[in-house]
Structure 1
């Protein structure tokens, strides 16, 4: 199954640069807590927060990738424990919910952890088909190959969440 392209990084100023400046100024504890929402590894979040300030979003994302590549099996297990399986909209057909639940159960039985996949850039109407196809394909992997793919998906998820975090941090505070 082809891997979708990584989250694109805009070089324009605006929400990203404002958000990055705010993120860089946050107290370390706040930055670590926000980063834990991007990747559930405490060591990853600590490392990312400790290396601030980041000069631009591309540098932040590169640091995220580097920290992701350095995750130990224990760090990856911790990050996976913080994840939940991709789910469907409540209005999706019952058969789709059942198929997805069965596929997740088979995956977790085979590999001992939740299935993760980055769906950035995939239209919501294609999510269920993409997730089911990916689970089926990845069930054929041996544990080493799957561990590598899972780590890559975690890196991709973290990148997308960081972009979201920095964009959210760059929005003006709501009026009281």
Structure 2
């Protein structure tokens, strides 16, 4: 079994839920994934995350999007004009739809992220609010899935496993490296 998944499956519910909320801030989503543990394998956990994302109610989506931080690619050497265009496009999107722009950039090289983000922002600004809600929900699902995979990978790393065990089982002694969730 995947080491990170094994630790996640064994973690107290509050700990598991806290980890999941760093992937997607919808409490319903995190609660559902926590309740349905243990997962037999990584694919099952990721499929459950997808299913829970598809079932988000509009209020859950609002909750999750409200917790997202405006961010985007900021590679070194990007011309100031490009960063200004990115900030302006983000501001226009937030003004139109009332939440930050979410886009999953998996499958793109890091040097393509800026162009993909700008193209996504410009293309989606013309959407009707209901159409954009559906697209934003799917992008959030993809982002949450990627974050969950990263979280489980980090939990499976030896230092993270030691820190997590220390948190789960206080009698196992303190750890010198604090665990930082994604």
Structure 2 residues not aligned, in runs of 5+: 163-174, 177-182
Query: Which is greater in Rg?
Result: 2
User: Aligned match of 1:169 in 135, 155, 158?
Assistant: 155
The structure that is helix-richer by fraction is 2
Structure 1 residues not aligned, in runs of 5+: 1-12
Aligned 8 A contact 1:88 1:97 in 2: no
SS of the residue 2:158 aligns to = coil
TM-score normalized with structure 2 length: 0.84
- The reply to whether residue 121 of structure 1 matches residue 125 of structure 2 is no
For the aligned residue pairs, the C-alpha RMSD in angstroms reads 1.4
User: Aligned match of 1:138 in 107, 119, 124?
Assistant: 124
* Count, aligned residues: 161
Equivalent residues in 2 for 1:152-167, closer than 5 Å = 152-167=138-153
Deviation at 1:88, TM superposition (A): 3.4
Q: Distance in 2 between matches of 1:93 and 1:56?
A: 44
**In structure 2, what is the equivalent of residue 34 of structure 1?**
19
SS of the residue 2:69 aligns to = coil
Higher relative contact order (CA 8 A, sep 6+): 1
TM-score normalized with structure 1 length: 0.87
Deviation at 1:125, TM superposition (A): 0.7
- The reply to whether residue 100 of structure 1 matches residue 86 of structure 2 is yes
Deviation at 1:121, TM superposition (A): 2.1
- The reply to whether residue 49 of structure 1 matches residue 34 of structure 2 is yes
Q: Distance in 2 between matches of 1:87 and 1:151?
A: 18
What does the per-residue CA deviation read over 1:76-121, in whole Å, with 9 as the maximum and x for residues that have no partner?
A: 0110011112323263221111000000011111111110001112
Aligned 8 A contact 1:111 1:143 in 2: yes
**In structure 2, what is the equivalent of residue 69 of structure 1?**
54
